[in-house]
């Protein structure tokens, strides 16, 4: 199946996860940075998942699944190890709601890829279920290649880009934007050279970057 890669804003949107095991916990952890309104439906949950629930980071409906649990949900995860329960979740999912079945046995409206997140810098990788092991390997490689410094690096690029858009036009703007990809900027960030970064921003404002 050919999936369409898409990044979706689900802030304040209801997301329901049916299940309380290891897979459900992974889904919750992936969703936490999005500020979605997460609901977990399961009679029991793992200790680590319960920690998130006790912290109020998700709502826990401590009970067996019922179709009404999906009311108003934008995304739904059927994440149990019981095929019959996953079937019931699928049957209760409306046509306008998006469903992900962890067992991949039925309806699969979307897949959530492995994610490397460094602030606004987000890289995803998926083999669309063909080889989860390869997905994990590539993710690990990306995490090593793009370390935590990329969060600050991309934040700096964003600030610099906005200044360029404000102060430059035409070919001068294109040339200045191209300067943002010079490797020395990443070096400044990784070396914590705040003076070089500040000087570069001042040069942008003065029209001296080209």
**Does pTM surpass 0.75?**
yes
The H-assigned helical ranges of the chain are: 22-31, 47-54, 83-92, 132-145, 149-167, 170-179, 183-190, 194-205
Report the alpha-carbon distance of residue 198 to residue 115 in Å, rounded. Answer: 31
- Give φ, ψ of 25 to 5 degrees: -60, -40
pLDDT per residue, tens digit, the chain (210 aa), is 788 999 999 999 999 999 999 999 999 999 999 999 999 999 999 999 999 999 999 999 999 999 999 999 999 999 999 999 999 999 999 999 999 999 989 999 999 899 999 999 999 999 998 999 999 999 999 999 999 999 999 999 999 999 999 999 999 999 999 999 999 999 999 999 999 999 999 999 998 887
Report how far residue 27's alpha carbon sits from residue 92's, in angstroms, rounded to the nearest whole number: 20
Max intra-chain CA distance, the chain? 66
Task: Please compute, for residue 151, the number of CA atoms within 13 A of its CA located in the half-sphere on the CB side.
Answer: 7
How many other β-carbons are positioned within 10 Å of the β-carbon of residue 160?
A: 21
**What domains lie within the chain, and their CATH numbers?**
14-112 (3.40.50.720), 149-205 (no CATH)
Query: Which residue is associated with the tokens 């049916």?
Result: 18
Q: Given the structure tokens 């970064």, which residue do they identify?
A: 197
Q: Which pLDDT belongs to residue 74?
A: 98
């Amino acid at each position: 199946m050919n999936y369409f890669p898409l990044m979706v804003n689900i802030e304040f949107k209801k997301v329901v996860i049916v299940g309380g095991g290891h897979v459900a916990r992974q889904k919750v952890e992936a969703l936490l940075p999005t500020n979605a309104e997460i609901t977990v439906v399961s009679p029991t949950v793992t200790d680590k998942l319960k920690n998130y629930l006790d912290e109020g980071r998700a709502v826990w409906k401590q009970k067996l699944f019922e179709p009404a649990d999906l009311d108003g949900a934008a995304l739904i995860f059927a994440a149990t190890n019981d095929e019959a329960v996953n079937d019931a979740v699928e049957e209760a999912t409306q046509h306008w709601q998006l469903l992900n079945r962890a067992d991949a046995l039925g309806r699969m409206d979307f897949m959530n890829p492995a994610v490397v997140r460094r602030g606004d810098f987000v890289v995803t990788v998926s083999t669309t279920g063909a080889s989860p092991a390869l997905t994990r390997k590539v993710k690990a490689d990306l995490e090593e290649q793009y370390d935590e410094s990329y969060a600050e690096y991309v934040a700096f690029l964003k600030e610099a880009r906005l200044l360029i858009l404000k102060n430059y036009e035409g070919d001068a703007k294109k040339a200045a934007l191209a300067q943002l990809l010079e490797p020395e900027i990443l070096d400044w960030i990784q070396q914590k050279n705040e003076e070089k970064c500040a000087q570069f921003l001042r040069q942008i404002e003065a029209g001296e970057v080209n």
